[in-house]
């Protein structure tokens, strides 16, 4: 199967998942073209692909605008979405984000499914939370945000990557 794997990753989390996906697809006998920037995908690569696997980092509950533009331009393709997000407490949270990203796909696209995992955030985020906590000592919500930040540092884990890869292969029937 000819696959196009396109990723939008600022910090490397989603790129890590994308690289593992490419390896897994190739091991399973598929041909995978990898493009590390949705704005750099050429028309011929899209036309040649039987399936597009689009990876996004979560930006305010959605994908970032560069990925949104890429997804909106796809027509008549089969698409699998994968992503990483700083928060990861529940599958429902990931489903909500996937639902938002999916809205960028036109009706002509066949959505094959999606999978997400948590991804570490930049150190500046923890500093911001710490400053917030200093202003509101003992605030349980801010403390939970710091705990989530620390939990996210380990992600994507090998298990996350394996789960997303397996979900993609199931969705593609690869």
Distance from C-alpha of 63 to C-alpha of 132, rounded to nearest angstrom: 26
The contact pattern for ligand FMN, residues 72-101, with x = CB under 6 A and - = no contact, is ------------xxxx--------------
Least distance from C-beta 89 to ligand FMN, angstroms? 10
In this chain, which of 3, 5, 6, 9 binds ligand FMN, going by CB under 6 A? 9
Euclidean distance between CA atoms 134 and 96, whole angstroms: 31
Q: Based on the shown chain and the rule CB under 6 A, indicate whether residue 14 belongs to the binding site for ligand FMN.
A: yes
Residue count (the chain): 174
Stretch that binds ligand FMN, among 13-21, 25-33, 44-52, 126-134 (CB under 6 A): 13-21
Asked if 149 is part of the footprint of ligand FMN (rule: CB under 6 A), the reply reads: no
Cβ of residue 100: shortest distance to ligand FMN, in angstroms?
A: 10
Nearer to ligand FMN, 78 or 161 (CB): 161
Q: What residues line the site for ligand FMN (CB under 6 A)?
A: 9-15, 57-61, 84-87, 119, 121
């Amino acid at each position: 199967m000819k696959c196009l794997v396109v990723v939008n990753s600022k910090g490397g989390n989603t790129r890590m998942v994308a690289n593992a996906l490419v390896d897994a697809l190739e091991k399973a006998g598929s041909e995978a073209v990898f493009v590390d920037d949705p704005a750099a995908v050429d028309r011929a690569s899209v036309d040649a692909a039987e399936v597009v696997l689009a990876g996004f980092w979560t930006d305010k509950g959605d994908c970032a605008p560069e990925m949104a533009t890429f997804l909106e331009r796809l027509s008549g393709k089969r698409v699998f979405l994968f992503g990483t997000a700083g928060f990861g407490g529940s599958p429902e949270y990931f489903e909500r984000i996937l639902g938002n990203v999916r809205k960028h796909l036109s009706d002509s696209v066949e959505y094959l499914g999606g999978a997400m995992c948590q991804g570490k955030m930049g150190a500046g985020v923890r500093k911001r939370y710490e400053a917030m906590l200093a202003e509101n000592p003992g605030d349980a919500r801010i403390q939970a945000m710091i705990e989530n930040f620390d939990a996210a540092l380990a992600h994507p884990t090998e298990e996350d990557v394996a789960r997303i890869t397996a979900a993609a292969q199931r969705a593609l029937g690869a």
